[in-house]
Structure 1
Amino acid sequence: MQRLYLDYNATAPLRPEAREALVAALEEVGNASSVHAEGRAARQRIETARQQVAALVGADPKLVTFTSGGTEANTTVVAPDWRFGAEPHRVNFLLVGAAEHVSVLAGGRFAPEKVQAIAVDSDGLIQMDGLRRTLEALAAEEARPMVSVMLANNETGVIQPIAEIADLAHGAGAIVHTDAIQAVGRIPVDIAALGVDVLTLSAHKIGGPQGAGAIIRANDALTFPPLLLGGGQESRLRGGTENVAAIAGFGAAAEAASQDLTLVDTWSAWRDRLAAVIGEGGPPATVYGAGAPRLPQTLCVGVDGIAAETLVIALDLEGVAVSSGSACSSGKVAPSHVLAAMGVPPEAAKSAIRLSLGWESDENILDLFQTRWRRVLETITRKPQRAAPAA
Structure 2
Amino acid sequence: MRGFHFTWMIRLEALSFSTVAIAVSGVFLAHAHRLELQSQANAYQVEYDALTQTKSFAAFESEFAKVFAKAHHDDLPLTIIAMDIDHFKAINDHFGHLAGNQILTGIANTLQSAINSQDIAATLYRTGGEEFTIVCPDAKAEAALELARACWQGVRTHPFVADKYKIPCTLSCGIAELTFADARADDLFARADKNLYQSKQRGRDTITLFGQAVADMKPERAMETYTYFTQRVVDVKHNLEVIANEVLLAHYCRDQDRWETMMRPEPLRTQLAFMQEAALMNTKERMSIYLNAEEFAQPDIPELLGRFLTQADAPSLLWVNLRQLPSAETLKQVRPRYEKYDIRIIPDVLHLQQDADQVAEILPLVDGLNISLNGLREAFSDNAEAEAAMVAWYQRCRKFEVDVIFNQIENSVDADYVRNVLKGRYVQGYAFDQPELPRLG
Per the normalisation by structure 2, the TM-score is 0.24
Using CA pairs under 8 Å that are at least 6 residues apart, name the structure with larger relative contact order, 1 or 2: 1
Structure with more of its chain in helix, by fraction: 2
Highest Rg: 1 or 2? 2
Structure with more of its chain in strand, by fraction: 2
